[in-house]
Amino acid sequence: MRIIIFKRPSWRNLALWGILLFVMLAYRENVTSVFSGKLKPIYSVNIDSKAIGLTFDISWGEKTAEPILDILKQEDIRATFFLSSPWADKHQELVRRMVAEGHEIGSHGNRHIDLNTLASEEIEKEIITAQQVLEPLTNQKIRLLRPPNGAYNNKVIAAADKLGYRVIQWSVDSLDWKRPGPSAVINNVLNGSRAGSGAKAGDIILFHASDSAPDTVEALPTVIKSLRLQGNALIPVGQLLSKASSTWPPESNLKEDPLTAR
């Protein structure tokens, strides 16, 4: 009969394994990100204060943006407007008004196409083309990107990060583009599509200020009033990120500096 003798591990080996286990537990989100190879945009943040990011996408239209600006001015609220560069170039006075009234401008790209269908070089070109329009017009450093249709993959995140951008999605969707009616838009934001999924601290809310979302103008005052009654502050995404301890999901990137080349 063969006798197997197990060696007792040395204290040094036990200590090394203990350190490794501690690091993996303490930084499990980062470890998961490294080994999964998945890159993610920012959907929400972890934050101690009751702050919510308010965002509006605009890619086309003449009627909706100005009434929304009127509401935000009346309520003394600043938000982030993700603008496609052709729309911004065509509506320069409205863009200047956004800036003058303290709103943050992000990029919604150049052409309204799914960036995840493009090669990395084409993605970079789309981002840079939009940047070349938005920055001179707004006198802001544009470093937040919301891809058209929210379409992304590793190439999109990596290309954006290479150019110093953080890709911003949303955790609360008003679904205003579906034109479900103001009451439905309000419910989508305050209560969510499932129980407990309404807007809360650290969330990023998606609205549209394009003409595809006429219900937003009617729904917005009620949304603002209700969230404020809950003690929430509605702020631009950049400000939300500056207050955050981390971003969600773990594979998203909080750093303003570009990631190292992959």
> Looking at the annotation, which residues are catalytic?
57, 208
Backbone φ and ψ of 29, nearest 5°:
-65, -45
Tokens coding 38: 């998945």
Tokens coding 28: 């499990």
- Which residues lie across from 167 on neighbouring strands? 145
The CA distances from residue 136 to 69, 91, 96, 180, in Å, are 21, 14, 11, 37
The CA distances from residue 227 to 54, 68, 98, 184, 190, in Å, are 11, 17, 22, 16, 8
Q: Are 60 and 211 in contact (CB under 8 A)?
A: yes
What would the DSSP string read from start to end of 55-87?
EEEESS-SSSHHHHHHHHHHHT---EEEE-HHH
What would the DSSP string read from start to end of 92-116?
HHHHHHHHHTT-EEEE--SSSS-GG
- Which residues lie across from 207 on neighbouring strands? 56
